[in-house]
Structure 1
Amino acid sequence: MRTQAEKSYSFSGTLFFGYRVAPGTELYFNPEVVQSSPMSNLTGLGGMLNSEQQKSSGASPTFYRARLFLRQTWNLGGDTTRQASQANQLAGDLSARRVVLTAGNYAVSDIFDGNAFAHDGRTQFLNWSLLTHGAYDYAADTRGYTWGAALEYYDDDWVYRFGRYLMPRASNGQQLDTRIFRHFGDQAEIEHSHTLAGQPGKLRLMVFRNRMVSGSFRDALAAAGGGAPEVADVRKEQSKYGAGINAEQNLAQDIGMFLRASWNDGKTETYSFTEVERSVTLGLSMNGQRWLRADDVLGIAGIRNGLSKAHRDYLAAGGTGVFIGDGRLNYRPEDIIEAYYNVRLSKATTLGFDVQKIFHPAYNADRGPLIVFGGRLHAEF
């Protein structure tokens, strides 16, 4: 991050189209536009400030296809519930036992690592580490989307998921590698819904494995010959493993809390998401009914991000990554506190106020702290 004060913005808009091709078969299409100007050219942090800037753009609007996918549902029996119509979800009846196949172009996080209180940068927390697991280096192009398929089995309170997706051809690249049986991102997740003290909650356990051509931090250090190491010089076939635990729990009708903890092996360069290899997040979300603003929402969360020993040694020796690297490193975990308040202006619009305080940005004890204030106008029709 630069030492002087900075300004940043993002604008994004998405259209959601859905069509029922046949009973149980649905087709969805989302064109999208993005325009943004990030702080410090989107460098200097592990937990980036604005998850909408993950979609990468520039000062001119960029139009593209965000999603084009097919969803097939096979109802197998059990209690039936009525599903309301919303974005990328057509109204219909769903049975408690069912199989769902989602195939095509979409974001991995559309299916995996959901959370009612921290999963949407347009309406909830802004920081990338609160969008999903910080250490979840999930398959995606530079806009956060990919191609692939996920199979889900719903059995009353349990859900089992598995998905395979295309990885980018290069680290944080836009072009995807279509050799899905050679280079891929696999993930599996188990989800359980429960009731605790009369309040609903969910617990999710996820593991992932990526296979791609990438550079190892230890290989780069060995090849440096006393100079600054460079992972791009030692790229070869590699695998990355990781896991995450995700919990959400209502404490009362108007208050919910969430917890995420994630880890990846940290042996190779960040490939699709951000430079985090250990992450813990904890937060609360509360609507405003206690102060007679029931449609307002207050959220507060804490983040602790960390790096593997190999990655720390690489940065300390002068190596750099896509987002971080000072030429040296006085390592400390990166700690972030974020709070937001959404004011409901109308049925369709909210005005949000956000503040983030970052300690040891980019894991460097010689930097920070820094404070970032933000505003957000959101409309959906």
Structure 2
Amino acid sequence: MYFLNRPIYARLILCCCISAGAGAAFAIAPVDSEPVVDSKVPLMGETERWSIHGQATYMLQQRNNFNSPYSGQNSLLNKSASPAEAYSLSATAFIGTRLWQGAEVYWNGEMFQGSPFDGHLTGVGGVYNGELQKGAYAQPVFYTARAFLRQTIGLGGGQEHIAGEANQLAGNLDKNRVVISYGKIATLDYFDDNAYSHDPRTDFQNASIFSMGAYGYAADTKGYTYGAVAEWYQANYILKAARLALPTVPNTAQLDYSLSKDYSNQIELTRTHEIYGRAGAVRGLFFQQRAFMGTYQNALNLAQQTNTYPPNITSVRQAATNSWGYGFNFDQALSQDIGIFGRWSWNPGAAETQTLDISKSLSGGLSVKGASWSRPYDTLGIGFAVNGISSAQISYLQDGGMTTFIGDGKLSYKPEQVLETYYSVKAYKELFISLNYQRIANPAYNAARGPVNIVGVRAHVSM
């Protein structure tokens, strides 16, 4: 098996996590701030004083030979030009405890090892494995993923029991409440949630399907940030607002911990509802960035004035450059086992990206549990995304410009189209094995290249 050729550290960590799962009680626990309410648990259920959870996820992907009449510095290369495999392995420990009334503190230690296709995460707008934003490491690296304080202030309205999971202690909370989190966190733990498409470790893997493609959320090179998030739960509404740190140089590791020069503001309103007794939610998000960034038009202007081609966006970076955008997101259960979801997001695409090279994105799909074929813990998912970029970025790429993630040297523009499907099997207790297929037409918005077919396998265990 290909996995047996990976470094011994990767095999040992995954095997240890799976072995631990054989004798423990597991719970699939996405790290989301919107609490999971278990209706089967009595209202005044157990209150945890502390908890320890863990997860390990391994993903292996292979790509095909595809049409590639030319390539540039940031192109996804053909199978014959570069190794055709990409993989990632992550393992995370989630530790939390209560401090005083309403206060909790959490620490997450994480290990990561992996490599994208060609050794660089380039060549597509919708990244094919969301875990690979953490970088390329031939040997495992260890770091603090999250370290934050959470304070909950009750506002009445009756109580509900919150089930325990990763970064969430079981307990009884007021239905109406304010929750404030501060420290090192992940933006997508709080924003752009979705019941059927939110976590590449358990459902869809393409970043333009499990999140809003044009949402320029705050993140360092491993996907984490620093700042404060405030959440207000009132009846069936949730209002969230945050100021989060951006890197001091786009797409690098060093965050602006002052939260005054390079930062992102966002606000999101969620309304939960029931349609014929089936749960659903709609969300609206607005975000604004202020950071050290360059704009495509300035790069084009400089190239024309100095007759220096191709244009280079890194040469026109300026402090306090602004960008903004918005997105809408919904999920809706159609039956006990079938649900649908959809997202639309947009930004002007004037400035270089802090996340994905996408300035408009439409995505959606279907999730089906396997109860009807006597596999109630299996899941079949089918999703799509159509991604686009701004006219200024199109001109920049046509003139041979490069961004952090894309650049074929020239461009025959057409929207990027992503189709993804997966089937997740409960193999043993809380060990889930998934098969995944992605088809990316017009990779990096170039009709002259592709389509790229990617097949993959994923193993995920959590406790």
Q: Is the 1:52–1:121 Cα contact (8 Å) retained in structure 2?
A: yes
Q: Is the 2:420–2:436 Cα contact (8 Å) retained in structure 1?
A: yes
Alpha-carbon separation, structure 1, partners of 2:164 and 2:282: 25
Within 5 A, what are the aligned runs for 1:92-103? 92-103=171-182
Match of 1:341 in 2: 423
Q: Which residue, 298, 310, 320 being the options, matches 2:392?
A: 310
Alpha-carbon separation, structure 1, partners of 2:170 and 2:209: 29
Any idea what the Cα deviations from partners look like across 1:152-171, whole Å, max 9, x if unmatched? 11001001110001110111
Q: Is the 1:303–1:335 Cα contact (8 Å) retained in structure 2?
A: yes
Alpha-carbon separation, structure 1, partners of 2:114 and 2:448: 29
Partner AA of 1:264 in structure 2? N
SS at match of 2:108: strand
Q: Is the 2:209–2:364 Cα contact (8 Å) retained in structure 1?
A: no
Match of 1:240 in 2: 323
TM-score normalised by the chain length of structure 2: 0.81
Partner AA of 2:417 in structure 1? D
Offset, 1:184:
1.0
TM-score normalised by the chain length of structure 1: 0.98
Any idea what the Cα deviations from partners look like across 1:4-37, whole Å, max 9, x if unmatched? 2511110000001010112210000000000001
SS at match of 1:165: strand
Partner AA of 1:267 in structure 2? A
Match of 2:201 in 1: 122
Any idea what the Cα deviations from partners look like across 1:94-146, whole Å, max 9, x if unmatched? 21210000110010111111111111010010111123110011111000001
SS at match of 1:129: helix
Any idea what the Cα deviations from partners look like across 1:327-359, whole Å, max 9, x if unmatched? 111000000100000000122210000000010
Alpha-carbon separation, structure 2, partners of 1:132 and 1:75: 30
Offset, 1:180:
1.0
Match of 1:290 in 2: 372
Q: Is the 2:325–2:345 Cα contact (8 Å) retained in structure 1?
A: yes
Any idea what the Cα deviations from partners look like across 1:231-274, whole Å, max 9, x if unmatched? 11111131110000000000111001000000011100012x11
Alpha-carbon separation, structure 2, partners of 1:346 and 1:89: 25
Q: Which residue, 233, 237, 246 being the options, matches 1:154?
A: 233
Within 5 A, what are the aligned runs for 1:363-378? 363-378=445-460
Q: What is the root-mean-square deviation of aligned Cα atoms in Å?
A: 0.9
Q: Is the 1:356–1:372 Cα contact (8 Å) retained in structure 2?
A: yes
Alpha-carbon separation, structure 1, partners of 2:163 and 2:255: 34
Match of 1:352 in 2: 434
1:31 aligns with 2:109: yes
1:261 aligns with 2:261: no
Offset, 1:178:
2.3
Larger relative strand fraction: 1
SS at match of 2:412: coil
Q: Is the 1:162–1:187 Cα contact (8 Å) retained in structure 2?
A: yes
Q: Which residue, 84, 91, 97 being the options, matches 1:13?
A: 91
Alpha-carbon separation, structure 2, partners of 1:197 and 1:39: 45
Match of 2:31 in 1: none
Match of 1:252 in 2: 335
Partner AA of 1:3 in structure 2? N
For structure 2, the residue ranges without an aligned partner over 5 or more in a row are 1-75
Alpha-carbon separation, structure 1, partners of 2:173 and 2:456: 39
Match of 1:326 in 2: 408
Instruction: Figure out how many residues of one structure are paired with residues of the other and give that number.
Output: 380
Q: Is the 2:227–2:242 Cα contact (8 Å) retained in structure 1?
A: yes
Partner AA of 1:19 in structure 2? T
Alpha-carbon separation, structure 1, partners of 2:180 and 2:209: 27
Which shifted more, 294-303 or 2-11?
2-11
1:189 aligns with 2:272: no
Q: Is the 1:34–1:57 Cα contact (8 Å) retained in structure 2?
A: no
SS at match of 1:109: helix
Match of 2:283 in 1: 204
Offset, 1:181:
2.1
Q: Is the 1:17–1:29 Cα contact (8 Å) retained in structure 2?
A: yes
Larger Rg: 2
Alpha-carbon separation, structure 2, partners of 1:107 and 1:254: 29
Partner AA of 2:102 in structure 1? G
Match of 2:77 in 1: 2
- Which of 1 and 2 has higher RCO (CA within 8 Å, sep 6+)? 2
Offset, 1:182:
2.6
Offset, 1:3:
1.5
Match of 1:104 in 2: 183
Alpha-carbon separation, structure 1, partners of 2:408 and 2:79: 17
Q: Is the 1:119–1:131 Cα contact (8 Å) retained in structure 2?
A: yes
Alpha-carbon separation, structure 2, partners of 1:180 and 1:86: 30
Which shifted more, 226-235 or 355-364?
226-235
Any idea what the Cα deviations from partners look like across 1:158-214, whole Å, max 9, x if unmatched? 011100011101110001122312321100000000111221100000000010011
Offset, 1:63:
0.3
Identical counterparts, % of pairs = 43
Any idea what the Cα deviations from partners look like across 1:293-347, whole Å, max 9, x if unmatched? 0000110101101001111111011101111011111000000100000000122
1:132 aligns with 2:211: yes
Alpha-carbon separation, structure 2, partners of 1:258 and 1:9: 27
For structure 1, the residue ranges without an aligned partner over 5 or more in a row are none
Any idea what the Cα deviations from partners look like across 1:49-105, whole Å, max 9, x if unmatched? 101101113111010000000110011101211011100000011212100001100
Q: Is the 2:116–2:136 Cα contact (8 Å) retained in structure 1?
A: no
List structure 1 runs of 4+ shifted beyond 4 angstroms: none
Match of 1:83 in 2: 162
Q: Is the 1:231–1:269 Cα contact (8 Å) retained in structure 2?
A: yes
Partner AA of 1:118 in structure 2? S
SS at match of 2:133: helix
